[in-house]
C-alpha cells in the first residue's frame, strides 16, 4: 500500500505528479540539486530532500542517492517522471530490491524497450511493422558505412538507448557519415552513458504519430487514441495535438490495435506510449516504445477526460482499470506548445539566466503545466523547457486560437524564449491546414532568409523607444526602481545607447513634449511620438498614433527586459566607452551558453572562413557548435577540451582578413 511518494524528478513534471498525488491523498517528497533549491516543485511537496550537486550525474541520475533519499523519509514508492531515470531498468530494479514501489512498468519491460535495436527485434517477432535499417552490435565505422550504403541515403543515425533527439542525425550523403557518427556517439554517451548506434532509412515528410496505452496488473490493456507530434526542431517535439489531422477512424483502429498488441507482447504495466512514423503513403512503422509518461500527455487527458498520472498511481497501488476500450471517447481537440528557454534566431540555442518576471494568464479552455516561477534560475544543467501550454476547444480551430492567445499573453522576462516562434508555427498556413510533417520546421524555419518585414521593424522600434523612456525615467528618478509607480515631475529628456542580444547598438534621443508625451529618435529612423498612459508595477500602457498597447517592462542592473504580445527583447545600456569596446569585440568569439568544451577544432595561426566550425560545447545534454563570425586568422585560443565555460567566456580571437 502506498502512502508517501517520492518524485525522482524536477520541473513541471515533478509539479504535475505532486499535485495529482495530493489530490488522491498521498504524501509527497521532492528531491532537489544545488541548482534547484528555490525551484517550484521543492516548495509544493510535503517534504524535500537535497540529493547533490547541480550536475545531474551527481544528483538526479545518481540511483543510490535517490534510493537513499526515499529510505530516509520512509517513502513507499517512487515516481520517476520522464527523462533522467524514468527509463532506466537498473533504477526500476533497484527500487524493487529496496522494497519500494516503482510507479511504472517492470524493469524487464524497460530493459526490453530501452534499447531501440532490441525493441525493434521484439516488435518484428510480434508482427509490428518496423523501418528498414541496421541494429547490429558491430559498431565499427567501416561496418556502419557499409550498412548505410546498403540501406540507401538519406539515413538516420540514432542512439540505441535514450530519446529526446539525443544522438540523432540525418545524413544525406556518404561523405557526411563519419563526422555524423562521431558526433552522435559523443552526444549519446553523454546523455545516456552508452554510445551504441542504429541506422534507419529516412522516410521524408513522414508524421510522428504516437498512441497512449494504459495497462493494469490484472492483464487489461487499452489505448487512449493518438497524438500527432510532427512539429519538431532538433528532433525534439515543440507542438503536439490530438486527434491527428492525418488519422481517420479506420487508421486509428488499425494503429491502436497494433499499439495494444505491442504493449501486451512485453507484459507492459502502467502508462506508456507506442510511437509510429506515418508515411505519406499511409503505411506506418514502429519507432520505439516509451516506457513512461510522455511530456505531451496533457492533450490526451483533455480530450478523453482521463487523468493519466492518477491512473499511474492507482495501478501502482494495485487497482484495476475501470474503463474498457469501448468507453474511450475523444471529445473536442487539444494542442500543446512547449515553452523553452531558447533562441530560435540562433538555431534554438538554449538560454540561461534568472527569471525576472513570470505570469501565465487565465484563459478559458487553456491549461498550464509549469515548473518555474519568478526569481527562479534557468541553468545550463537541465532541459530548457519551462512550461507546457495546452489549448482546448470543441474544434481544432478553437483550440488553436485559444493557444495563440495564451502564448501572446504569457509574460516571461529574463532568458529569451521560443514564445513568438510557437505563435508563428500555429499561425502558419501549413499547420492551419493540418499538413505539417516532421521536416516542416527544418525546411521552413531553419534557413529563413527573407528580410525582416516593415511591420516587425516598426514593432521593434516601438519597444526600443519604450526601453529608452524607461531607462531615462529611472535615471531622472521619475520611475521608481521598485516599479511601483511613475511620477511626472521634472523634465525627462536624455540620450542613451542600448545593445540588443545580436550586438546591434541603438542610439536613442529622448525629449519630453508635454504631459505625458515623449518623442524618441532611434538612430536615423523617423521620430516616434509615444504617450505613456499608465504604469502599474511592470505593466506599461502606451499609445502610438492613437493605438493603445500593453507591454511589460523591467529595468535591472543596466538591462531592460521588454515583452508585448508580438515580441520579447532584452537590451543592455551602454556608455560611450562600452560602444567602442563592443566594436572591437566583433573579432572575439565567446561562449553562447554555459557548458563543457567537448572539442576545439582550430589552432593558432589557422585560417578560417566565416561559418567554419571552431568549438563544440555540450550543454543540456546536447552538443552546440560555435562557428566563426568572420573570415580571418586565429590569433589566440583560450580554452581546451574538457574545460567548463560560462556564457560569455572568451573562446577565440580572430584577426580579420
**C-alpha cell belonging to residue 553:** 517592462
| Structure confidence at residue 482 (pLDDT) | 40
* Structural domain containing residue 398: 209-444
The catalytic position among 227, 252, 292, 497 is 292
| Structure confidence at residue 177 (pLDDT) | 93
Would 356 be classed as within a structural domain?
yes
| Best CA proximity match to 208, nearest among 255, 161, 253 | 255
Domain CATH number, residue 97: 3.40.50.20
Of 512, 544, 574, the residue that ends a domain is 574
* Band of pLDDT at residue 24, cut at 50, 70 and 90: very high
| Structure confidence at residue 294 (pLDDT) | 96
d(CA 54, CA 39): 13
Mean pLDDT of 204-225: 96
Domain CATH number, residue 230: 3.30.470.20
Number of Cβ atoms within 10 Å of the Cβ of 324:
9
| Structure confidence at residue 624 (pLDDT) | 81
| Best CA proximity match to 255, nearest among 229, 285, 220, 279 | 285
Task: Report DSSP letters for 429-458, one per residue.
Answer: HHHHTT---TTHHHHHTTT--SPPPHHHHH
Mean pLDDT of 414-434: 95
Task: Report DSSP letters for 169-235, one per residue.
Answer: EEE-SGGGHHHHHHHHHHHHHHHHS---EEEEE--TT-EEEEEEEEE-TTS-EEEEEEEEEEEEETT
Same domain, 270 and 159: no
Q: Per the structure, how many domains does the chain have? A: 5
- Pick from 49-63, 149-163, 252-266, 448-462: least confident: 448-462
d(CA 116, CA 160): 5
Pairing of strands 547-556, 539-544: antiparallel
At which residue does the C-alpha cell 511518494 appear? Answer: 5
At which residue does the C-alpha cell 519491460 appear? Answer: 109
Same domain, 49 and 177: no
Of 177, 201, 225, the residue that ends a domain is 201
| Structure confidence at residue 481 (pLDDT) | 38
Same domain, 322 and 354: yes
% residues pLDDT > 70 (the chain): 92
Would 143 be classed as within a structural domain?
yes
Same domain, 283 and 416: yes
d(CA 28, CA 568): 37
Non-local (6+) Cβ contacts of 309 within 8 A are: 16, 17, 20, 271, 293, 297
pLDDT in tens, 260-284: 999 999 999 999 999 999 999 999 9
d(CA 565, CA 374): 19
Pairing of strands 27-33, 4-7: parallel
Phi-psi region of 441 (alpha: psi -120 to 50; beta: other; left: phi over 0): alpha
Q: In what order do the strands lie in the sheet with 588-590?
A: 588-590, 650-656, 632-637, 607-608
Domain CATH number, residue 192: 3.30.1490.20
Would 125 be classed as within a structural domain?
no
Same domain, 154 and 238: no
* Band of pLDDT at residue 576, cut at 50, 70 and 90: low
Same domain, 332 and 465: no
Under 8 Å between Cβ of 443 and 249: no
Would 121 be classed as within a structural domain?
no
Phi, psi values for residue 179, rounded to 5° = -65, -40
Terminal CA-to-CA distance of the chain, rounded, Å? 71
Would 607 be classed as within a structural domain?
yes
Mean pLDDT of 466-477: 78
d(CA 588, CA 639): 13
Radius of gyration of the chain (CA): 26
Of 184, 201, 218, the residue that ends a domain is 201
Question: What distance lies between CA 274 and its chain's CA centroid?
Answer: 21
**C-alpha cell belonging to residue 77:** 514508492
Would 580 be classed as within a structural domain?
no
d(CA 194, CA 187): 9
* Band of pLDDT at residue 405, cut at 50, 70 and 90: very high
d(CA 238, CA 236): 7
Write down the mean pLDDT value for the chain: 89
Same domain, 484 and 430: no
Q: Is 292 a catalytic residue?
A: yes
* Band of pLDDT at residue 68, cut at 50, 70 and 90: very high
d(CA 85, CA 166): 15
| Structure confidence at residue 19 (pLDDT) | 98
d(CA 215, CA 366): 29
Same domain, 404 and 365: yes
Same domain, 438 and 459: no
Would 64 be classed as within a structural domain?
yes
Domain CATH number, residue 598: 2.40.50.100
Phi-psi region of 347 (alpha: psi -120 to 50; beta: other; left: phi over 0): left
d(CA 131, CA 154): 13
Would 118 be classed as within a structural domain?
no
Same domain, 328 and 440: yes
Same domain, 232 and 171: no
pLDDT in tens, 386-404: 999 999 999 999 999 999 9
- The answer on pLDDT for 484 being more than 50 is no
Same domain, 436 and 487: no
pTM listed for this prediction: 0.86
% residues pLDDT > 90 (the chain): 65
**C-alpha cell belonging to residue 476:** 531622472
Amino acid at each position: 500500500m502506498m502512502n508517501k511518494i517520492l518524485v525522482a524528478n524536477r520541473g513541471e513534471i515533478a509539479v504535475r505528479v505532486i499535485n495529482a498525488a495530493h489530490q488522491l491523498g498521498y504524501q509527497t517528497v521532492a528531491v532537489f540539486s544545488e541548482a534547484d533549491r528555490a525551484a517550484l516543485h521543492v516548495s509544493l511537496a510535503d517534504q524535500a530532500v537535497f540529493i547533490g550537486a547541480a550536475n545531474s550525474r551527481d544528483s538526479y541520475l545518481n540511483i543510490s542517492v535517490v534510493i537513499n533519499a526515499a529510505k530516509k523519509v520512509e517513502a513507499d514508492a517512487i515516481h520517476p517522471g520522464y527523462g533522467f531515470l524514468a527509463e532506466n531498468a537498473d533504477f526500476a530494479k533497484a527500487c524493487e530490491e529496496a522494497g519500494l514501489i516503482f510507479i511504472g512498468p517492470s524493469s524487464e519491460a524497460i530493459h526490453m524497450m530501452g534499447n531501440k535495436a532490441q525493441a525493434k527485434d521484439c516488435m518484428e517477432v510480434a508482427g509490428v511493422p518496423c523501418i528498414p535499417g541496421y541494429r547490429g552490435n558491430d559498431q565499427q565505422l567501416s561496418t556502419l558505412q557499409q550498412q548505410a550504403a546498403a540501406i540507401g541515403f538519406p539515413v538516420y543515425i540514432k542512439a540505441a538507448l535514450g530519446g529526446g533527439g539525443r544522438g540523432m542525425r540525418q545524413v544525406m550523403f556518404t561523405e557526411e557519415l563519419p563526422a555524423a557518427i562521431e558526433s552522435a556517439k559523443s552526444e549519446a554517451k553523454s546523455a545516456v552513458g552508452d554510445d551504441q548506434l542504429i541506422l534507419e532509412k529516412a522516410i521524408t515528410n513522414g508524421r510522428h504519430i504516437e498512441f497512449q496505452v494504459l495497462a493494469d496488473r490484472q492483464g487489461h490493456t487499452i489505448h487512449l487514441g493518438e497524438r500527432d507530434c510532427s512539429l519538431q526542431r532538433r528532433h525534439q517535439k515543440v507542438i503536439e495535438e490530438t486527434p491527428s489531422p492525418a488519422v481517420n477512424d479506420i487508421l486509428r483502429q488499425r494503429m491502436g490495435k497494433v499499439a495494444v498488441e505491442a504493449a501486451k507482447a512485453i507484459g507492459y504495466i502502467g502508462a506508456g506510449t507506442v510511437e509510429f512514423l506515418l508515411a505519406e503513403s499511409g503505411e506506418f512503422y514502429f519507432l520505439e516504445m516509451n516506457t513512461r509518461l510522455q511530456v505531451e500527455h496533457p492533450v490526451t487527458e483533455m480530450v478523453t477526460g482521463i487523468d493519466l498520472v492518477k491512473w499511474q498511481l492507482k495501478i501502482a497501488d494495485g487497482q484495476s482499470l475501470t474503463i474498457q476500450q469501448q468507453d474511450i471517447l475523444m471529445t473536442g481537440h487539444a494542442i500543446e506548445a512547449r515553452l523553452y528557454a531558447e533562441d530560435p534566431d540562433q538555431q534554438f540555442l538554449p538560454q540561461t539566466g534568472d527569471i525576472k518576471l513570470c505570469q501565465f494568464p487565465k484563459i478559458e479552455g487553456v491549461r498550464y503545466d509549469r515548473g518555474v516561477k519568478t526569481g527562479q534560475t534557468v541553468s545550463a544543467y537541465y532541459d530548457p523547457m519551462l512550461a507546457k501550454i495546452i489549448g482546448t476547444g470543441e474544434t481544432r480551430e478553437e483550440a488553436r486560437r485559444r493557444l495563440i492567445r495564451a502564448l501572446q499573453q504569457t509574460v516571461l522576462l529574463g532568458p529569451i524564449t521560443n514564445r513568438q516562434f510557437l505563435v508563428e508555427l500555429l499561425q502558419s498556413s501549413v499547420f492551419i491546414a493540418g499538413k505539417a510533417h516532421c521536416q516542416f520546421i527544418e525546411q521552413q524555419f531553419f534557413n529563413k532568409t527573407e528580410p525582416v518585414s516593415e511591420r516587425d521593424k516598426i514593432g521593434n522600434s516601438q519597444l526600443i523607444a519604450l526601453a529608452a523612456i524607461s531607462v531615462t525615467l529611472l535615471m531622472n528618478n521619475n520611475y521608481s526602481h521598485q516599479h511601483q509607480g511613475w511620477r511626472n515631475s521634472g523634465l525627462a529628456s536624455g540620450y542613451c545607447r542600448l545593445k540588443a542580444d545580436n550586438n546591434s547598438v541603438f542610439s536613442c534621443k529622448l525629449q519630453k513634449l508635454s504631459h505625458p508625451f515623449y518623442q524618441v529618435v532611434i538612430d536615423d529612423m523617423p521620430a516616434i511620438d509615444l504617450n505613456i498612459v499608465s504604469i502599474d508595477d511592470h505593466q506599461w500602457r502606451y499609445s502610438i498614433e492613437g493605438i493603445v498597447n500593453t507591454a511589460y517592462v523591467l529595468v535591472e542592473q543596466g538591462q531592460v527586459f521588454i515583452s508585448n504580445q508580438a515580441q520579447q527583447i532584452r537590451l543592455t545600456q551602454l556608455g560611450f566607452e562600452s560602444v567602442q569596446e563592443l566594436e572591437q569585440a566583433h573579432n572575439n568569439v565567446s561562449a553562447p551558453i554555459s557548458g563543457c568544451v567537448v572539442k576545439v577544432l582550430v589552432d593558432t595561426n589557422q585560417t578560417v572562413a566565416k561559418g567554419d566550425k571552431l568549438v563544440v560545447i555540450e550543454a543540456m545534454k546536447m552538443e552546440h557548435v560555435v562557428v566563426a563570425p568572420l573570415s580571418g586568422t586565429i590569433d589566440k585560443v583560450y580554452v581546451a577540451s574538457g574545460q567548463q565555460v560560462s556564457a560569455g567566456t572568451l573562446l577565440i580571437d580572430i584577426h580579420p582578413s
